[in-house]
Amino acid sequence: MTVRQPNARLADLADRYWRFYCHEWPLYAVLAGEVTPDATLFREAPADHDRRDRRAGELLAELDGIVLDGLTLQDRATHRLLRRELESIRSLHAVAAHLRPSLYPTGPPMMASYFANSSSVDDAETAERYVDRLASVPAYLRDLRESLEAGHDQGIRYPRLALDSAAASIRDGVAGPVEALAWSGPFKRSPAADTTSVRRQAEHALALIRDELVPAFESFAAFLEGPLADGARDTVACTDAPLGRELYRALVHDFTTTDLAPEEIHELGLAEVARLESEMEAIAAEAGFAGDLPGYRHFLADDRFFAPSKEALRERLEVLCKRIDGRVPIFFGRIPRITYGVESMPEAVAKRLPPAYAQPNPADRSAPGIFWITSLPERCPSPMHLPMALHEAWPGHLMHIALMQEAEDLPAFRRHGAIRFPACVEGWAIYCEGLGVDMGLYQTPDQHFGRLEMEMWRALRLVVDTGIHWHSWSRERAIDTMAQHMALPRQTIEAEVDRYISWPGQALAYQIGNLEFRRLRSLAKSRLQDRFNLRSFHDELLAAGPVSLPVLGDIVDGWITLHDPHCAAREDHHARG
């Protein structure tokens, strides 16, 4: 009888986990370019979550039987990441997270639109497959409603504000002519749009959207405003519901990939706010506002710092992105094979979305990545433009995730795992905002202030998210706290706070990840000194793929050891000894 080596057993388990993941979360399988056996995009009924929990337990038991001895550094990382993913499924199920899913901003309309915006229609076959998948969305809403009803029966109540935001977002998302909705987009973009077979499918899609999708979303919005709103809370903390404190701790662990407690994160946030406030005061003094930081913030709120139209705003971001792209090869040896574009969000939904977000390209490179910028210029002053472009496009999200998809040496579950490691992905994007200083892109006080303002935004998230969900802050206190330290328009701050209320813990990932990337760079530079090469360091970070912050630390430590002749000599001595 042949006994397989631990690395072979691990590779097999990682492959089976990926197949399990693709079945349970089919949308992400589609985005990863995997062939799915049917047209289903979402599985969100209570029975689906119960099945996942049981299977995760079985896979964990198998993983426990694979010893770490003899595994390479990369295989050890795979072992730890696989354990983290399986334990995350189980821990979130244990606190009934699936019975109180986030409904805003990443609720059903955004997820369905994300699918449409990532889809391509090239011929009759892909057109038919797209329509079949689109037809599965009403079943997704029914499954989600079943989970919400089960949670409601167990005493789980949403904040009234969260339900109102979600329902309004849905109604905004389906407003207007069906031809203008995101679900019609793949046919508008299709190079085969004039062929008879594709045109026929486009007509089918329009009828499906008008007769099934729009009514299904309107019915779901009515459910949120009606039955689910029965007993809705006026308080906003997730801890005010059954198992609320356990839920928040689990979400904090899941989003940050650390063992930091909510109390520690709150204190860290306060310290970061104080640090950034001091740096901003120095920039204000340079701009002629010494000792008057509020005055400088007021100055930056002047109309001169806002684009006159959504078209002008998009064009300014396009110019900035091209300027950044020209600097990227100096700081990175690894460049993706895909490109990206800048698009304006539909005005109907922009008021409830952040000023910008990234939509990565599909893994099969059938469509470009998209840097979505708000169509409401009053929500995006010019000092935000440069750090926002660095964050969302290259070398931030769109470049980072495109390179992950090309990392053929990594197991599939790691290569396509960006969404499951937000501290790594978001932390990298904020690190890239600061990298713009090294790239020589920030040249004026208002640009430098904009960078600090964006980082202050993320530092305040540590304070406000924990303030709301752990210390029971009111919405008004959270808004006032952010407004005290930022020059962002009031409506932008209000939308952000509503996001934190509706999506507990997610906002913590950004600055915690950023601080870890900066810490690792400082560590590598301190230990390697003249041997430190920033371009090589960046390539090592990007080669890691999406990982937890502890695993990222191990990978960087291994890279430092490899490039430190003293460490290498010790390793060689131990190997000979």
> pLDDT tens for residues 169-208?
999 989 999 999 999 999 999 999 999 999 999 999 999 9
- Specify the residue for token string 């986990």: 17
- Evaluate whether residue 378 is within a structural domain: yes
Token digits for 491?
């409506």
Q: How many domains does the chain have?
A: 3
Query: Last residue of some domain: 513, 532, 555?
Result: 513
CB atoms within 10 A of CB 562: 12
- In 3D space, the residue among 378, 383, 375, 382 whose CA is nearest the CA of residue 356 turns out to be 375
Tokens standing for residue 168:
């309004």
402's CB contacts (< 8 A; 6+ apart) are 336, 337, 338, 360, 361, 369
Name the pLDDT band for 268 (thresholds 50, 70, 90). very high
Position 425 pLDDT exceeds 50: yes
Phi and psi at 233, nearest 5°, equal -85, 150
Q: What does the pLDDT average to over 492-511?
A: 95
User: Is 228 found in the same domain as 255?
Assistant: no
The 3-state DSSP class for residue 255 equals helix
Give yes or no: residues 468 and 371 share one domain: yes
Q: What 8-state DSSP symbol labels residue 419?
A: G
CB 249 within 8 A of CB 262: yes
Decide if pLDDT at 159 tops 80: yes
Mean pLDDT computed over every residue of the chain:
94
Residue 48 maps to which CATH number? 1.20.58
Cβ pair 33, 363 in contact under 8 A? yes
Mean pLDDT for 472-500 is 93
DSSP-derived secondary structure for 240-272: GSTTHHHHHHHHHHHHH-S---HHHHHHHHHHH
Q: Which residues of 62-72 are buried (b: 16+ CB within 10 A; e: fewer)?
A: bbeebeeeebe
> Which residue range forms the structural domain that includes residue 22?
1-94
- Establish if 335 belongs to a structural domain: yes
Say which residues have a Cβ less than 8 Å from residue 132's Cβ, sequence separation at least 6.
Answer: 39
pLDDT at position 570: 44
Q: Between the CA of residue 523 and those of 16, 136, 145, 236, 527, what are the distances in Å?
A: 37, 49, 48, 40, 6
With respect to residue 568, please indicate whether it lies within any of the assigned structural domains. Answer: no
3-class DSSP assignment, residue 159: strand
Spatial distance between the Cα atoms of 205 and 440, rounded to a whole number of angstroms: 48
- pLDDT given for residue 184 in this prediction: 96
Rounded CA-CA distance 515/521 in Å is 10
320 and 198 inside one domain: no
pLDDT at 3: 59
Tell me, what's the pLDDT at 416? 95
Is 366 domain-assigned?
A: yes
Residue pair 67/465 in contact (Cβ under 8 Å)? The answer is no
Has residue 528 been placed in a domain? no
Instruction: State whether 74 and 107 are in the same domain.
Output: no
372 and 499 in a single domain? The answer is yes
Say whether pLDDT at 301 is over 90: no
Residue 470 has pLDDT above 80, yes or no: yes
Amino acid identity for residue 90 in this structure: R
User: Of all residues in the chain, what percent carry a pLDDT higher than 90?
Assistant: 89
Return all residues near 411 (Cβ < 8 A) that are at least 6 apart. Answer: 11, 14, 15, 18, 78
pLDDT for 443 equals 95
Burial class for 44, CB neighbours closer than 10 Å (0-12, 13-18, 19+): buried
Q: Does residue 433 contact residue 385 with C-beta atoms inside 8 Å?
A: no
- Total number of residues shown for the chain: 577
Determine the Cα–Cα distance for residues 540 and 538; give it in Å rounded to an integer: 5
The two structure tokens encoding residue 174:
């389906």
Residue 11 confidence class, pLDDT cut points 50, 70, 90? very high
Residue 366's pLDDT is 85
What is the pLDDT, as a whole number, of residue 4?
A: 78
End position of a domain, from candidates 455, 490, 513: 513
How large a percentage of the chain has pLDDT more than 70? 98
Specify the 3-state DSSP secondary structure of 129: helix
Q: What's the DSSP call for residue 226?
A: T
Both structure tokens of 86: 């399986």
β-bridge mates for residue 373, sequence order: 344, 356
All residues at 6 or more sequence positions from 79 whose CB lies less than 8 Å from its CB, including other chains = 10, 63, 66, 68, 71
At 446, the amino acid letter reads D
Angstrom CA distances, 209 to 132, 219, 262, 358, stand at: 12, 14, 43, 25
Higher pLDDT, 351 or 253: 253
Domain co-membership, 489 together with 363: yes
- Assess if residue 559 is contained within a domain: no
